[in-house]
Chains A and B, each alone.
Chain A
Amino acid sequence: AQSVTQPDIHITVSEGASLELRCNYSYGATPYLFWYVQSPGQGLQLLLKYFSGDTLVQGIKGFEAEFKRSQSSFNLRKPSVHWSDAAEYFCAVILWGGANNLFFGTGTRLTVIP
């Protein structure tokens, strides 16, 4: 079955440190890939998306993600984390065909320590 896996439930980093959040998908073809961020009690905000082309995509708030077909991964990165980045991060995919709905990973909660 198709799925999206975020293996890290919770990550803690120091402010100013680099960040990488992992996302793996299980699907035969290349899906459309997204990263969303959710602050407590809020909705989801789109950080970036990948459809095709350049495998390194830039998003808002200084985030970027790299699509690696060989590893079925779409990891989110930021070179220097700010305290305001503390939130929950969701990887999501749209699979070809069907209703083209989003399938979400279970999320990674990021804590930033001063």
Chain B
Amino acid sequence: DGGITQSPKYLFRKEGQNVTLSCEQNLNHDAMYWYRQDPGQGLRLIYYSQIVNDFQKGDIAEGYSVSREKKESFPLTVTSAQKNPTAFYLCASKVGHSNQPQHFGDGTRLSIL
């Protein structure tokens, strides 16, 4: 079945450590997205990529980095510069047309040790 796979489901980070969240899709979608979800704040866009080897900052990109070397993969690195990384992170993808809905993975919960 086609879908979006996020791994790991749970992730723990020590102070000063970078961690990378994986997002893989086999839907042949062009665009991919990373969101951060905090209680009571809905989803906030971190980064997005509309084609391979290109990505743009979203509303809260500081302390995060991404790459898009392959169409099916869009990993997110939470760097030590992100001072409050504890959150639920969601990856999404969609076809290239502007009005198509996004499909979401099941998320990764990141916590600080």
Contacts and interface: CB of A to CB of B under 8 A. Distances in A.
Interface string A35-46: 010000111111
Contacts of B102: 102
Interface residues of A, number: 22
Contact of A106 (B33, B41, B45, B88): B41
B85 interface: no
A66 to B, nearest CB: 18
B101 A99 contact: no
A101 B58 CA distance: 10
B30 to A, nearest CB: 12
A40 B40 CA distance: 14
Nearest to A44: B104
Contacts of B101: 34, 46, 49
Contacts of B48: 99, 101
A25 to B, nearest CB: 14
A56 interface: no
B89 to A, nearest CB: 11
B109 A41 contact: yes
A71 interface: no
Given A44-B90, A46-B101, A99 B42 contact: no
B67 interface: no
B42 A104 contact: yes
Contact of B99 (A36, A44, A46, A94): A94
A63 interface: no
A99 B99 contact: no
Interface string B1-16: 0001010000000000
26 contacts: A9-B40, A32-B99, A36-B104, A41-B88, A41-B106, A41-B107, A41-B109, A42-B106, A42-B107, A43-B105, A45-B104, A46-B103, A49-B101, A51-B99, A90-B42, A94-B99, A99-B50, A100-B98, A101-B33, A102-B33, A102-B102, A104-B42, A104-B43, A105-B42, A106-B41, A107-B42
